Chains A and B, each alone.
Chain A
Amino acid sequence: MRAQIFSSILRASARPSALGGARTGPLLARFSSSHAQESFESFTDRYVKFFQNAEDLFEVQRGLNNCFAHDLVPAPSVIEAALRASRKVNDYATAVRIFEGIKEKVENKTQYQAYLDELKPIREELGITLKEELYGH
């Protein structure tokens, strides 16, 4: 008799209760994926402003490292701002290096040529020679 009661209690406790099964879904919701995606235009604005305000060579090169680290080729306006910034801090080598960076980032030669054509005025204005023109390859 007592053994029977005992076993029925055990069986009842082994059965999943209705209350326990009501918990559905994870309690911890993660919102790490809900960042606002920065648009290309705001990215461009941000870096144009950054390069216009850059004070020294360190800042310019830091900004270049950052804006070339994204999965996009910076817009010509950003490049122009960066070139003017490197003129401001008197660093010719960085200006040449920027074009080298573009060459690395673009997908093919026509895109690189398009960038060169687009930036031809400022290249002539500042007197920037490309690395290819410097070393002839």
Chain B
Amino acid sequence: MQANLALRLARQTAFRRSLHLRGLATSTTANAAHIAAESSSSSSVSASSRDASLIPLSNVEAQWATLSGEEKTAVHEQVEVLQKKDWKLLSLDEKKAAYYVAFGPHGPRAPVSKPGDSLKIFAYTMALVGAAGILSIALRQFGGPPPKTMTTEWQEAENARAREMNINPITGVSSPDYKGKGFVH
């Protein structure tokens, strides 16, 4: 509900602004042309002087993180004015700045992980697995030998006893054509 309202407000302001622009355009055309010419000639002068005092657009990408809120707003306004010109007249730096301000990797589009992150995660995982392996081997060093029932002789004796007792005579150890290993592991 609130978001909806905010959206509607934003759209209203945008609409009012466009109305305002259109109002300017539909005022007496000669006058408008005069104003436009004057503003473009003066803006090139004032823009260059303002650029010097404000933030240079040449490497906004590098500076963006260190800029304060007002400075960011200033850059936004600067870029907005720039984009009203013929796009063929924009320099590469200005184009980059316009793109970066709108869609650059900052704010919600900041990348989730840094470049070396996956390698770091892999290395740490391998280290942990290795530590677990070493721990397992070390613990086995303290264990005694396997029990006597795990020897082959014992298990063959088990088989012999099983046949003697006729255990599982249809499919198992004692069946006539048995081919398995019985109790031998």
Contacts and interface: CB of A to CB of B under 8 A. Distances in A.
B90 A135 contact: no
A134 to B, nearest CB: 5
B101 A93 contact: yes
Contact of B14 (A56, A87, A94): A56
What is the predominant secondary structure among interface residues of chain B facing chain A? helix
Contact of A94 (B10, B15, B96, B102): B102
Interface in B141-182: none
A3 B154 CA distance: 72
Contacts of B15: 55-56
Q: Name which of B11, B87, B90, B92 has the most chain A CB atoms within 10 A of its CB.
A: B87
The range of chain A's interface size is: 20 to 34
Contacts, number: 53
A128 interface: yes
B83 A92 contact: yes
B96 A90 contact: no
A56 B7 CA distance: 13
A128 B10 CA distance: 27
A92 B18 contact: no
Contacts of B89: 127
Interface in B70-101: 80, 83-84, 86-90, 92, 95-96, 98-99, 101
A91 interface: yes
Contact of B86 (A55, A91, A93, A127): A127
A131 interface: yes
B95 A134 contact: yes
B183 interface: no
A126 interface: yes
A119 interface: no
Contact of A128 (B11, B14, B87, B101): B87
A51 to B, nearest CB: 16
Contacts of A58: 10-11, 14
A67 interface: no
B84 A90 contact: yes
A129 interface: yes
A129 B14 contact: no
A97 interface: yes
B90 A127 contact: yes
B124 interface: no
Interface string B90-122: 101001101101110000000000000000000
Interface of A: 55-58, 87, 90-97, 100, 126-129, 131, 134-135
9 contacts: A90-B80, A92-B87, A92-B95, A92-B98, A93-B83, A93-B102, A129-B92, A134-B92, A135-B96
